[in-house]
Amino acid sequence: MSLRRYSIQSLASCNKASHPDDKLDKTNCKFDCERIINTEESKTSKISQLEDDIEKLNIKSIENNMRVFGLNAAANEDTTYLESKIIDKGLNVSSPNAKWSSDDIMYVHIIKNSHTDSYSSLYIVKFRFYEDKARVYGCREDLRKHGIRVGNDLINKQRQKLKSLKLMGKTAYY
């Protein structure tokens, strides 16, 4: 935007030239302004392309993540305990015939609810394989019967898009 403003101001100053020998300078100034505008547009396009690439990488990095609600956590729980709690109270409920192990989970991150204690904490579970995440999704109803809810982990842009659609009275999901 500032380049465009500068180029338009430069063009205006070139047009105000009054000396007859300045005709060539006016033409050069117009070409310079057009070059600056084209450069700005190409850089804007490149920035947009890079932002899209970063968004795709962010989505790819969390594709095996799942948000788990409905499990209460103590402040002093370590990662190993959290993994076993997810397996015992979540995964074994959703797929009791599957042999779940701590190797199926890469990590568990807990996000405490700081506003009130009436809501349970949020767990971000990263599965080693997408198929494990899909198995849990296949048994969402069984988990709900036990008070556990699961959902996709989304990037901020996806959350904002869903929020704006909800405000328009539409429902959507990723």
Q: What is the DSSP string of 45-74?
A: HHHHHHHHHHHHHHHHHTTTEEEEEEE---
pLDDT for position 119: 54
Over the chain, what is the mean pLDDT?
79
Q: Looking at residues 64-78, what average pLDDT do you find? A: 79
Q: Looking at residues 73-81, what average pLDDT do you find? A: 71
pLDDT for position 3: 45
Query: CA of 114: how far to CAs of 4, 56, 132, 160, in Å?
Result: 47, 31, 30, 22
Nearest Cα residue to 133 out of 70, 63, 86: 63
Percentage of the residues of the chain whose pLDDT score is greater than 90: 26
pLDDT for position 115: 61
Which is more confident, 7 or 162?
162
Which is more confident, 34 or 127?
127
Classify strands 149-152 and 65-71 as parallel, antiparallel or unpaired.
Answer: antiparallel
Give the domain ranges of the chain.
2-47, 61-167
pLDDT band at 26 (very low <50, low <70, confident <90, very high): low
Count of residues in the chain? 174
Does the pLDDT value for residue 66 go beyond 90? yes
pLDDT for position 170: 92
Percentage of the residues of the chain whose pLDDT score is greater than 70: 76
pLDDT for position 4: 47
pLDDT band at 62 (very low <50, low <70, confident <90, very high): very high
CA distance 132 to 105: 9
Among 3.20.20.70, 3.30.70.1820, 3.40.50.970, 3.40.1640.10, name the CATH number for the domain at 61-167.
Answer: 3.30.70.1820
pLDDT for position 58: 93
Query: CA of 74: how far to CAs of 119, 121, 156, in Å?
Result: 13, 9, 27
